[in-house]
Amino acid sequence: MILEKRSNKLLRLIAPGLLTAVCLLTVAKLYAFVNEAISIALEAATPYVEQGFEVREDNWSGQVEPKKPLLVRHQLFRGNEYWFWAGTSWTGASVRVDIFDSSGNSVGLESFAEESYAGVRVLPQKTATYYIRMVAEYDPEKAAAEAQAIGVLPAADGVGEFGTSVDWGLVYGYR
Amino acid sequence: MIRTSSIPTIIRLLLTTLAVLTSIVIRAQDDVPERIDLTNFPGEIVDKVVVPIPVEIFSVLDKLGELDWGNGISIPENEPQTTERAILALTFGSLVGEGFIAVQAKDREKIQKVGHRVLNLSESLGLASAVRPHSLGIIEAADLGDWERVREELDNTQQTVRETMVRLRDEELSGLVSLGGWLRGTYVVTRFISEAYSEDKAELLNQPGLISHFREELASMTGPSKSSSEIRAISTGLARLEGVITDEEIISEEDINELREISHTMLEEYYFGTEDAAN
């Protein structure tokens, strides 16, 4: 009886710790495996997969200051058609993507930008390295409106507010 | 009377509205500059290089003419007899490249053989649990003749292995996996082009940026593998490839034969046994 009481007490003492550890591990694991910006870029790619584009598993991602352009170098082959899709998961953030040849000339044939994702299509005129430019924007008013629309309460001072950068992800497909 | 005369006005109004709307749309698209200065880019240049998978080139070659892909498959007789992780990583990449060739050939048996080999190799690398689902996926999809899924699983396999290596702080090995796949793909491409040369096909090998990337990766290796005879031979091979592929120049038939010889010699270092006359 005494032993049972002691073990219950011990369990009560270590249970919160264990629970916290499990939660932290789960969050760490999710953080390691889920890249929201890439998920959004892949979502943008979905309709094109039905058109025969094969989307690569490898991709680019990171954090960037709004308005600061990013440049990604990539080898393309003449004879293939490519789409590049960019995404960001930050509330109130948007992305644009375009592509240039090795002389810096714009070569995108078609593009779109829909708030958190964007895409550009290219038919390379030569096999070479191309440059994909991505720019993210952040609009605090839009972020507040979007947060309110989904029922998120205004952040306490400094908590959950915009820092200095937003996430970005870039994927591509070819056919 | 008023109605009749007002019709052109309505049309004019509609046209004006349309013109305004069109100009807005065009302005939105005009956000893209016609030209940017790459030598003085006002932003951040992303370091990461994504290496194209061999099938990106294979698909162009297929558009340029029918090829006997079955003739390009050359799975080494024996499993690697080394515990050197750098060599195992290179072999892993080349085996995945072999898988892509077998998919082009739609050869179920060879794809399944590659699937099994990939799994064995991942055991040697200590990555079997991450690779097993993809390896089984390759075997299953090949059995069903679902070539698109086989390609996806091959790409997934390579990506999973590379990501796992990065997580285990084995970035060097991750780069070697990409190099192995690229090299196997490059060799088979040079083989096919040398059999029926055309400038259009040869242009596919215009990849100086990738060669320079691989050279930088090998140069930045810090482990003991850097001084192994295989890695040194591959570094030399890459330097030779770079000497042949110079940007903005047409790659001649003679160049193609040279590229074929160099890439084969590089693969002999770790993939084809020297006894395999995989020509």
Compare A142 and B104 and report the one with higher pLDDT: B104
**pLDDT of res. A7:** 52
Question: Does B24 score more than 80 pLDDT?
Answer: no
- Asked if B208 contacts B251 with a C-beta cutoff of 8 angstroms, the reply is no
Residues 111-130 of A with CB under 8 A from B: 111, 113, 126-129
Q: SS3 letters for A120-137?
A: EEECCCCCEEEEEEEEEE
pLDDT in tens, B165-200: 988 888 889 999 999 999 999 999 999 999 999 999
Tell me the C-alpha to C-alpha distance, in Å, between residue A67 and each of A70, A90, A138, B26, B42. 9, 14, 8, 21, 11
Whether residues A146 and A101 share a domain: the answer is: yes
Question: Does B19 score more than 70 pLDDT?
Answer: no
**pLDDT of res. B169:** 84
What is the predicted ipTM?
0.85
**pLDDT of res. A143:** 86
- pLDDT grade for A144, boundaries at 50, 70 and 90: confident
- pLDDT grade for B28, boundaries at 50, 70 and 90: very low
Compare B276 and A80 and report the one with higher pLDDT: A80
b (16+ CB within 10 A) / e for B262-277: bbbbbbbbbbbeeebe
**pLDDT of res. B18:** 47
**pLDDT of res. A22:** 44
Whether residues A96 and A150 share a domain: the answer is: yes
CATH for A105: 2.60.120.380
* Closest by CA position to A144, among listed A93, A96, A87, A95: A93
Residue in chain A lying closest to B42 (CA): A69
Write the single-letter amino acid at A172.
Y
**A131: domain range?**
36-154+162-174
Phi, psi (rounded to 5 degrees) for B233: -65, -35
Q: SS3 letters for A45-97?
A: HHHHHCCCCEECCCCEEEEECCCCCEEEEEEECECECEEEEEECCCCCEEEEE
Whether residues A13 and A70 share a domain: the answer is: no
CB-CB under 8 Å, A104 with B44: no
Whether residues A104 and A132 share a domain: the answer is: yes
Sign of CA dihedral B27, B29, B33, B34: negative
Q: A6 at the B interface (CB within 8 A)?
A: no
**pLDDT of res. A1:** 47
Whether residues A113 and A166 share a domain: the answer is: yes
Give how far A18 is from chain B: nearest CA, Å. 25
**pLDDT of res. A21:** 45
- pLDDT grade for A28, boundaries at 50, 70 and 90: very low
Residues B254-275: what's their mean pLDDT? 92
Cα A89 from Cα A40, distance rounded (Å): 7
Whether residues A20 and A79 share a domain: the answer is: no
Whether residues A28 and A95 share a domain: the answer is: no
CB-CB under 8 Å, B159 with A69: no
Whether residues A46 and A116 share a domain: the answer is: yes
Question: Which residues of chain B have a CB within 8 Å of the CB of A172?
Answer: 50
Question: Which has the minimum average pLDDT: A57-66, A111-120, B6-15, B30-39?
Answer: B6-15
Of A8-12, A133-137, A150-154, the range with the highest mean pLDDT is: A133-137
CB-CB under 8 Å, B209 with A75: yes
Residues A123-146: what's their mean pLDDT? 93
Write the single-letter amino acid at B107.
D
Residues B240-244: what's their mean pLDDT? 96
- pLDDT grade for B26, boundaries at 50, 70 and 90: very low
A-to-B residue pairs, Cβ atoms closer than 8 angstroms: 115
- Asked if A171 contacts A45 with a C-beta cutoff of 8 angstroms, the reply is yes
Which two tokens mark A146?
Answer: 């979007």
Q: A97 at the B interface (CB within 8 A)?
A: no
Whether residues A6 and A85 share a domain: the answer is: no
**pLDDT of res. B4:** 40
The total number of structural domains that make up chain A: 2
pLDDT in tens, B44-66: 999 999 999 999 999 999 999 88
Question: Does B256 score more than 70 pLDDT?
Answer: yes
**pLDDT of res. B25:** 41
Give how far B101 is from chain A: nearest CA, Å. 17
Cα B162 from Cα B38, distance rounded (Å): 30
Whether residues A46 and A129 share a domain: the answer is: yes
Angle among Cα B102, B70, B264 to the nearest 5 degrees reads 80
DSSP for B220-272, please give it.
Answer: T--SGGGGSHHHHHHHHHHHHHHHH--TTS---HHHHHHHHHHHHHHHHTTTS
Whether residues A10 and A86 share a domain: the answer is: no
Whether residues A73 and A29 share a domain: the answer is: no
